[in-house]
Amino acid sequence: MSGGQMAIPDLSNAVMAQDEMGRPLIIVRDQGTKQRAHGIEAVKSHILAAKSVASIVRTSLGPRGMDKILISQDGDITVTNDGATILSQMQVENQIAKLLVELSRSQDEEIGDGTTGVVVLAGALLEQAYELIDRGIHPIRIANGYEDACQVAIKELDRIADEVPLDSDNANLLRAARTSLGSKVVSESKDLYAQIAVDAVLGVADRERKDVDFELIKVMGKTGGSLRDSVLVKGVIIDKEMSHPQMPRTVEDAKIAILTCPFEPPKPKTKHKLDITSVEEFKKLQEYEQETFRGMVQRIKDSGANFVVCQWGFDDEANHLLLQNKLPAIRWVGGPEIELLAMATQGRIVARFEDLNADKLGEAGSIRELEFGTTQDRMIVVENCANPRTVSILVRGSNDMIVEEAKRALHDSLCVVRNLVRDNRVVYGGGAAEIAASLAVSDEADQHAGIDQYAYRAFAKALDSIPLTLAENSGMNAIEALSDVKSKQVTSKMSQLGIDCLGSGSNDMKKLFVIDPLIGKRQQFLLATQLTRMILKINTVIVSGEPSEF
């Protein structure tokens, strides 16, 4: 306002009306309505982006799930039905859709199994939330309702959970491991892989603390041979060979020097250079190097070591000296292998030759060089180590694709066994646990009046999407199969009834021993609900460095 003139209000959004006496009124519409509508539309667009990712892995759920072919930028082909692998190799541009990729990764890191199911459940929750938003319910009310419904579902899981006795013969662990391998590429060799998984987990498990450290289980792959050639070694496998072909292939009662210092003469830490102008000076330098090598080898012999592992390389002269002194050695061993070897043999990693002594040597019953058929590939196997709680698994296969898929299948099996060792309570698969939780949430919805009951019922419908998807992927009439099992659960009060994906003729998952560890199923529900709540609360995506409308 200037010069005594009044500012004219913006009436572009105004409408004319009359009061009860017929007097004219001007009503200016609320600008906030547009902003709220814009926020709701943004939430709906985020839901659609996340749903598109969930729909990709939906067909891979269950033992009859379809595989996906993943082609990398280099043209490498991966065939898998593992949800975490599929999502990790997808190029997802949408920021909201990337949250589902992170969700799958979280489930994989925390539990190791159920990576597909958690994404499918999150997608179903978002799909139900979209319908509620269309009906005018605010996203925050839906998010709060989902959180309360999730607690009801988890309480029902705790109620219906059964304990699986872990007997001395490990029969139940083997059955659980075999079940997890049923839909994988290794299904024909599932007995072997189940035994490997159980022996590996029990080999490193701390029964008192009910803890399994996966850092002590090393899984390696080597092409050539068949899946049945895979082996478990109670010790460490190092993908190297003896540094000299004439070194002995076997060392008994090994005393191992684990070196991270270079096997070469020390270099002066200066920018100056040394010019050699005569033959005598060159011979002096050569003699100095040889004397240094002899001193290093003598220190190793004085310590009592009869095997050398070096993180760095060494030249032919040092290699020849080690051979002359009957000291077999391997070189260029990676840092993780060095650390694992030190843990297994209870040796100390030596960074300076001056520090090497008998107290720092690792101990192992035997070291042998393993040779693979006609391929001439060799690996070093360190067995009967001082610390028995270290194991290695060598996975064999005809090509890289088979080996990698077998390693992923074995990882899932290891995780199932690990989870049962940590907590031997289980719920039953085939969608049985989801149906039981859905019924409990629906019953709870009847106790609520107002808007909250809509969120409860939406959560229950989302849980039903898991058995529905299992039935679809198994070629059944999905709705008919779900309604049949659901009615049987209600009438018989048997929470172990689920979808018969394998066509065994029985819906009793307890009888078929189709189980899910309780901690894995609980984590699925919690992670999917938390992610859905997070997405429902996002109404704007701000990208750093890009212009905005403000």
The 10 Å Cβ neighbour count of residue 41 is 12
Q: Are residues 111 and 126 in the same domain?
A: yes
Instruction: Return the pLDDT at 157.
Output: 92
Domains identified in the chain, total number? 3
Q: What gap in Å lies between CA 380 and CA 254, rounded to an integer?
A: 13
Residue 269 φ/ψ, nearest 5 degrees: -85, 70
Q: What gap in Å lies between CA 171 and CA 164, rounded to an integer?
A: 10
User: CATH number for the domain including 112?
Assistant: 1.10.560.10
Rounded average pLDDT per 10-residue block, the chain, 550 residues: 48 54 56 50 79 84 83 81 79 78 80 81 90 87 91 93 81 84 76 90 84 86 84 88 87 90 70 75 79 84 89 81 88 87 89 86 88 71 85 88 86 87 87 91 83 89 91 87 89 88 82 86 90 83 58
Q: Are residues 147 and 204 in the same domain?
A: no
Helices in 325-476 by DSSP H: which ranges?
335-345, 400-422, 432-445, 452-473
Instruction: Return the pLDDT at 154.
Output: 94
Q: Which of 59, 80, 85, 116 is catalytic?
A: 116
Q: Which residues contact 107 (CB under 8 A, 6 or more apart)?
A: 84, 114, 115, 118, 523, 524, 527
Q: What is the amino acid identity at position 97?
A: A
Q: What would the two tokens of residue 247 be?
A: 């070194």
Report the predicted TM-score, pTM, of the whole model to 2 decimal places. Answer: 0.76
Residues recorded for the chain = 550
Q: What gap in Å lies between CA 339 and CA 131, rounded to an integer?
A: 54
Q: Are residues 158 and 202 in the same domain?
A: no
Q: Are residues 131 and 85 in the same domain?
A: yes
| Domain, as residue range, for 338 | 238-263+293-387
User: CATH number for the domain including 322?
Assistant: 3.50.7.10
Residue 71 lies in a domain: yes
Q: What gap in Å lies between CA 340 and CA 349, rounded to an integer?
A: 11
Instruction: Return the pLDDT at 95.
Output: 77
Q: Are residues 151 and 42 in the same domain?
A: yes
The 10 Å Cβ neighbour count of residue 92 is 17
Residue 214 lies in a domain: yes
Q: What gap in Å lies between CA 294 and CA 324, rounded to an integer?
A: 11
Q: What is the amino acid identity at position 114?
A: G
Reply yes or no on whether 452 is catalytic.
Answer: no
Instruction: Return the pLDDT at 3.
Output: 47
Residue 414 lies in a domain: yes
Residue 158 lies in a domain: yes
Q: Are residues 197 and 132 in the same domain?
A: no
Q: Are residues 436 and 494 in the same domain?
A: yes
Residue 431 lies in a domain: yes
Q: What would the two tokens of residue 480 be?
A: 């008919």
Q: What is the DSSP letter of 224?
A: B
Q: What gap in Å lies between CA 461 and CA 455, rounded to an integer?
A: 10
Residue 347 lies in a domain: yes
Residue 434 φ/ψ, nearest 5 degrees: -65, -40
Q: Are residues 382 and 392 in the same domain?
A: no
Q: Are residues 259 and 347 in the same domain?
A: yes
Residue 302 lies in a domain: yes
> What's the burial of 173, exposed, middle or buried (CB within 10 Å: 0-12/13-18/19+)?
buried
Q: Which of 82, 113, 452, 508 is catalytic?
A: 82
Q: Which of 59, 78, 345, 412 is catalytic?
A: 412
Reply yes or no on whether 116 is catalytic.
Answer: yes
Q: Which of 78, 85, 115, 532 is catalytic?
A: 115
